Amino acid sequence: MKRIYSVLVENRAGVLCKVAGLFWRRCFNIDSLAVGETDDHTVSHMVIVSSGDDKTLEQIEKQLNKKLDVIKVKTFSEQEAVSRELMLIKVHYNRTNRRDIMENCSIMGAQIVDMSGSLMTIQICDTPERVQMFLDTFKTIRIVEITRTGTLAVTKCSESGKDG
């Protein structure tokens, strides 16, 4: 079972290491991890997607809460969240596949953000499933480089009443 942890932490050196170290030391999975500063520069927001049985997922929440650099932990399922992931993918193109690539981009709402005679970089920002789906369309195309942010998530507005 997948679970999303939205974790507010002190924006200090070493905190990412402490949180990631907790997952490593207790053999918890990290499916994805995204970090960034919030509107308050003393606070960072980590979005961690993990998976495991109910007991493990409960322990993750408890152990995160125990960390002294952790301000607040919210946890929710994928269904309760609005999730997005950004991917940049740099591919080789040629005369024969260029049109297909552009069509796929158009269908999936991706944008070509950089280009040279043989390379193009495409940006897609969508749900993690649709980002994966888009990536799967590149099976026959030579990929040079991929970078993904990992999942960013907030609870749906209709769920927000529960946690303020």
Partner 1 sequence: MTGAEAIAKCLINEKVEYVFGYPGVAIAPLFDSLYGTQIHSVLIRQEQNAAHAASGYARISGCPGVVAVTSGPGAENLITGIATAFADSIPLVCITGQVDSTLMGSDVFQEADISGACESFVKYSYIVRDVQDIPRIMKEAFTIATTGRKGPVLIDVPVDVQHEKLSHFFYPEEVKMRTYKPTVEGHAVQIKKVISELSRAKRPILCAGGGTFLSGAASLVRIFAEKYHIPVVCTMMGLGVLPTDHPLFFGMVGNNGDACGNRAMNEADMIIMIGARVADRSISQPDLILKGKILVHIDVDPAEIGKNAGPTIPLVGDVSHVLQAFLKEDIRVSCDDFISQLCAYRKQWKEQKEEARGKNSPDGCVNPAAFIHALSEAMDGNAVYVADVGQNQLWSCTNCIIREGRFLTSGGMGTMGYALPAAMGAQLADPDRQVVAVCGDGGFQMSMMELSTMRQYHIPAKVVVLRNNTLGLVRQYQHLHLHDRFAVTDLGEYPKLEYLTGAYDMEYIRLTDNADIQDAVRRFLGSENSVLLEAHVSKDALA
Q: What is the smallest separation between the CB atom of 66 and partner 1, expressed in angstroms?
A: 5
Q: What is the smallest separation between the CB atom of 23 and partner 1, expressed in angstroms?
A: 11
Q: Which residues in 10-69 contact partner 1 (CB under 8 A)?
A: 10, 14, 17-18, 21-22, 25, 55, 58-59, 62-63, 65-69
Q: What is the smallest separation between the CB atom of 60 and partner 1, expressed in angstroms?
A: 10
Distance CA 59, CA 28 (A): 9
For tokens 């609005």, name the residue: 82
- Pick from 16, 23, 51, 71 the residue near partner 1 by CB under 8 A: 71
Distance CA 133, CA 130 (A): 5
57 vs 120 by CB, closer to partner 1: 57
Segments in the chain forming alpha helices (H): 15-25, 54-66, 95-108, 128-136, 160-163
Q: Which residues in 98-157 contact partner 1 (CB under 8 A)?
A: none
- Of 93, 90, 87, the C-alpha closest to 144 is 90
Distance CA 113, CA 3 (A): 32
- Judged by the rule CB under 8 A, the positions of this chain that interact with partner 1 are 10, 14, 17-18, 21-22, 25, 55, 58-59, 62-63, 65-71
